[in-house]
Amino acid sequence: MQVRTLTKWGYRKQPFVVPKLDICYRPDTTDEKVIDEVLVRHAYQNKAAGFQLEPDDCWLDLGGNIGTFALMALAAGGSVLSVEPEPENVRLLRLNVEINFAARHRVLAAGVACTSGVLPLYLCNGEYNKYRHSMFLQKNRVSVPVPVVGLEELLQERVGTERINAVKMDIEGMEIDLLEKCADTLKHVRKLVFEYTFDVDPSVQRFLHIVEKLRTLFDVVHYTGINVNEKEFRHFPPCKMVYCSSSTQRLPPE
């Protein structure tokens, strides 16, 4: 394990509450790539969509990996509940948030589904890829059973006294199932950002149906690079970021 120290990350003029971030990572793995994608190139923020991390955000971080998104959100002054099922990633996730921030974070060693239970997690082969573990059947992969918590149950959690009001998903295809079956549980959040995984299902129409559902829940649903006249998305990379936001939050009852 090595430590990388960042003194610049996110948007250039975005205010952060700490001057640096120390990030523990596994050298010569996708950990190096995810640090650059999330913290240096701020994949989960988009100025064109008016989508940035802010101090009053309380994030449900689905697919916490080694904690890069959590660090970005905490550095912006927000709070985070990170959910990650893979044990080695959980260890680094806990370490990274704890060495940089004393409070405003929780880590749950679990996956997410529409309902709670236990599901197999198919682990990536080899020593390089540490962020494409998936709950969808993968040929020639070892699987391990992991607990999963229902999305609606997770949205009722708190970080300290803060209620969840924003959701980030990077869960290797499980976002499709959640957004098709459980999207209504998101009606009380004001921000949603997710990576849509077309290599699980390349159907453009399936993606567009999900987008139409999200437009009933959010004021803005922003994405680029999808040709609505194509039946299937067969381009590289096989994923797209989607940014959803509303100007106000519809609070659930206490």
Residue 224's domain is classified under what CATH number?
3.40.50.150
pLDDT along the chain (254 residues), means of 10: 94 92 94 94 92 96 97 97 95 97 96 93 76 75 91 95 96 92 93 94 96 96 95 93 84 55
Please report whether residue 85 resides in a domain.
yes
Pairing of the two strands 2-6 and 220-222 = unpaired
Please report whether residue 239 resides in a domain.
yes
Q: Please tell me the predicted confidence (pLDDT) of residue 247.
A: 82
Please report whether residue 98 resides in a domain.
yes
Q: Please tell me the predicted confidence (pLDDT) of residue 133.
A: 80
Please report whether residue 250 resides in a domain.
no
Please report whether residue 114 resides in a domain.
yes
- Distance, CA of 159 to CA of 103 (rounded, Å): 9
Q: Please tell me the predicted confidence (pLDDT) of residue 254.
A: 56
Please report whether residue 26 resides in a domain.
no
Q: Please tell me the predicted confidence (pLDDT) of residue 125.
A: 79
Q: Domain range spanning residue 172?
A: 32-245
Angle CA 204–208–209, to nearest 5: 120
Please report whether residue 12 resides in a domain.
no
Please report whether residue 101 resides in a domain.
yes
How many structural domains are present in the chain?
1
- Token pair, residue 164, equals 């969840």
- Distance, CA of 239 to CA of 4 (rounded, Å): 27
Buried b (16+ CB within 10 A) or exposed e, 230-251: eeebeeeeebbbbbbbeeeeee
